[in-house]
Structure 1
């Protein structure tokens, strides 16, 4: 297509997709705060994705993959989550597209598919989380109509003779690999 869009098919995850989906998982660590241990983050990301894949055929869980040019170009994991108000919402746990297809509409197609998944289950709201420093993702979600609902703040607790960072931990000294 001439407008930067690529032809893509969105379909439910299959076991044959596992290696390709897991290979994309490392992108989920982009925008994570610099004070988080990178190896711990990588292990957590791998765990999220493998858990999502294992639960993908269970009620209330789904993993959808984008197939472009015959291979996995991205995926979205969606589930249900109870909000503190008691309302059950759809929740996008993971959304990843390969760097080669960023900006081609595949991420938007995956979000639309997750929203359809939620709609098919009668859910009235869909939520997600992303790193505070992941400005590209935050802009992408805003463009799709998502609004910030909650903000989580974090402060390291010093133990023993640890010293404080030279400056406050803000968006400018957090990791942003996007």
Structure 2
């Protein structure tokens, strides 16, 4: 698995997919209308990425195998918040549907771990929606464990 830096055009397409996917997750999880979920997802995305592709500490990659066959996308960011250790946060990791269930998610996580270690980062974190069983299984079987859990109840 190779991490290939996104171009400006790659980033535009990624941003649209990422916001749309996050909006679907928000709508499903919180029971929001699609338009409200999209507004919320867009606001979160834009707040984190004030300078888009050029936002300091954020990195965007196309996930490639073989002869540059693109199989997914990745957004990671270095988080520094002393006294906590510097950590690499996976904001978005997506394997394209046609390539899922082939071990590529695990390969992508291994590539992310290598990226972090090469830069002296020794902690990896991410968030996952609780109903995303496939992703949770991947993360758990890759050695990740819950360090915080947000719980909720509709009233």
For normalisation by structure 2, the TM-score amounts to 0.75
- Say whether the 8 Å CA contact 1:66–1:106 is kept in structure 2: no
Q: CA deviation at 1:118?
A: 1.4
Where does residue 143 of structure 2 map in the other structure?
145
Where does residue 160 of structure 1 map in the other structure?
none
Q: 1:118 to 1:40 in 2, by over 3 A?
A: farther
- Can you list the C-alpha shifts for 1:117-144, whole angstroms capped at 9, x where unaligned? 2112211101000111212211111121
For normalisation by structure 1, the TM-score amounts to 0.67
- Higher mean C-alpha deviation, range 58-67 or range 79-88: 79-88
Task: Give the 4+ runs in structure 1 shifted more than 6 A.
Answer: none
Query: Separation in 2 of the partners of 1:137 and 1:53?
Result: 28
Where does residue 21 of structure 2 map in the other structure?
27
- Can you list the C-alpha shifts for 1:44-92, whole angstroms capped at 9, x where unaligned? 4445556559454454221111246866431111112245752221111
Which has the larger share of helix? 2
Where does residue 88 of structure 2 map in the other structure?
90
Which of 44, 56, 62 is equivalent to 1:65?
Answer: 62
- Say whether the 8 Å CA contact 1:53–1:63 is kept in structure 2: no
- Would you say how many aligned residue pairs link Structure 1 and Structure 2? 150
Q: 1:74 to 1:46 in 2, by over 3 A?
A: farther
Root-mean-square deviation over aligned CA pairs: 3.0
- Say whether the 8 Å CA contact 1:24–1:96 is kept in structure 2: no
- Higher mean C-alpha deviation, range 18-27 or range 117-126: 18-27
Matched, 1:40 2:36: yes
Query: Separation in 1 of the partners of 2:35 and 2:4?
Result: 31
Greater RCO structure (CA 8 Å; 6+ sep):
1
**Which 5+ residue runs of structure 1 have no aligned equivalent?**
1-7, 157-163, 165-178
